[in-house]
Amino acid sequence: MFYTTILKVLSNILDIVIVWFMFYQLLKYSRNNFKLTLIFKGLLIIIVLNFLSKLLDLYVVGTILQYVIAWGPLALIIIFQPEIRNALESIGRSQLLGRHKTLTVDEREKMVYEIVNALDYLKKNKIGALIVIERDYSLAQYIEPATKLYADLSSELLISIFWKNNPLHDGGVILQGNKVTCAGSVFPTSTNQNISKRLGTRHRAALGISEISDCVSVIVSEETGRISIAIQSELNYNLTLEDARIMLLDALQPKKETFYEADVESESEEGEKNV
């Protein structure tokens, strides 16, 4: 009897943890997706109206809301099928360890150095570019139809890919760690209505892929030469080279390294106290 009670309690706790984890993942994904945010706002309005209709005894409004609640889930599945599919794909593409986490500090700094050198040249010569850096979410579905390279990352390679006479210059480049995996990749464009109408296809594609994955997208405008970085559904526009370098180093830094450095500092402090 005692063990049965313990198992029942543990089962209830596990049930609650799984539900909260699913709810957290849903909120986390919707935060980075403009359309899903609108869905949640609409659901919140329906809940409030339903509460008011019962409180104030609004018969007509309550009847309409009953039909909305009954058939709403089916309508949402049909209307927002692409967003639901993207959410499920994002969960499936998730990796426990991102490829950039295998890089040492020196390799990561050299990677950013090569990217910034290429950005400097592309900016001065107003050569358009889109560089996407994979992190925890796999970009395999965008690598597969692109032109495979699997080459060591260098500023010269990036510049040559985006040179105007190169057939691959219109697409995007995907980096996995310090390797140029492919070129000529095509990404989904953002449908966010809040972004400026002046931004071109590259910026919208960079923002679009950042909305459905955790990648870092670096853009150079062909018209102005300005550098921008899209990350976590936010577009950081018109950055200096130093701003871009700092942002890339910060975005590519593994989380576990922070804890390691903190442990080292605490150990050194304890050593000083012992001395």
Q: What is the pLDDT of residue 96?
A: 41
Statement to judge: residues 131 and 243 lie in one domain: yes
174-224 pLDDT per residue, tens: 999 889 999 999 999 988 777 887 888 999 999 999 988 889 999 999 999
7-29 pLDDT per residue, tens: 888 888 888 888 888 777 666 66
Ordered DSSP codes for 84-118:
HHHHHHHHHHB-SS-GGGGS-HHHHHHHHHHHHHH
Which of 75, 93, 111 delimits the end of a domain?
Answer: 93
Residue 274 lies in a domain: no
Statement to judge: residues 108 and 237 lie in one domain: yes
Q: Provide the total of helices (H) and of strands (E) in the chain, helices listed first.
A: 10, 7
CB count within 10 Å of CB 108 equals 20
Statement to judge: residues 219 and 84 lie in one domain: no
Statement to judge: residues 77 and 169 lie in one domain: no
Statement to judge: residues 135 and 240 lie in one domain: yes
Residue 190 lies in a domain: yes
130-167 pLDDT per residue, tens: 999 998 888 888 998 899 999 999 999 999 999 988 88
Query: Is the sign of the CA dihedral 90, 96, 98, 99 positive or negative?
Result: negative
Residue 261 lies in a domain: no
Whether pLDDT at 83 is above 80: no
Can you read off the two tokens belonging to residue 67? 């039909």
The pTM of this model reads 0.62
Statement to judge: residues 137 and 25 lie in one domain: no
Statement to judge: residues 212 and 103 lie in one domain: yes
- Domain of residue 25 covers 2-93
Statement to judge: residues 35 and 162 lie in one domain: no
Structural domains of the chain, count: 2
Average pLDDT, the chain: 81
Statement to judge: residues 53 and 165 lie in one domain: no
Q: Are 227 and 220 in contact (CB under 8 A)?
A: yes
- Edge-to-edge strand list for the sheet holding 172-176: 147-152, 179-185, 172-176, 129-133, 216-220, 227-231, 234-239
Statement to judge: residues 179 and 72 lie in one domain: no
User: Which of 46-55, 162-171, 252-261 is predicted with the least confidence, judged by mean pLDDT?
Assistant: 252-261
Can you read off the two tokens belonging to residue 135? 């992190």
Statement to judge: residues 16 and 80 lie in one domain: yes
Strands 216-220 and 234-239: unpaired
Q: What is the pLDDT of residue 35?
A: 62
Residue 139 lies in a domain: yes
Candidates 172, 175, 194, 192; CA nearest to 183 is 172
Which of 93, 121, 152 delimits the end of a domain?
Answer: 93
Residue predicted with more confidence, 250 or 28: 250
Statement to judge: residues 77 and 198 lie in one domain: no
Residue 147 lies in a domain: yes
Per the document, the length of the chain is 275
Residue 272 lies in a domain: no
Longest CA–CA span in the chain (Å) reads: 79
Residue 266 lies in a domain: no
Q: What is the pLDDT of residue 272?
A: 46
Residue 275 lies in a domain: no
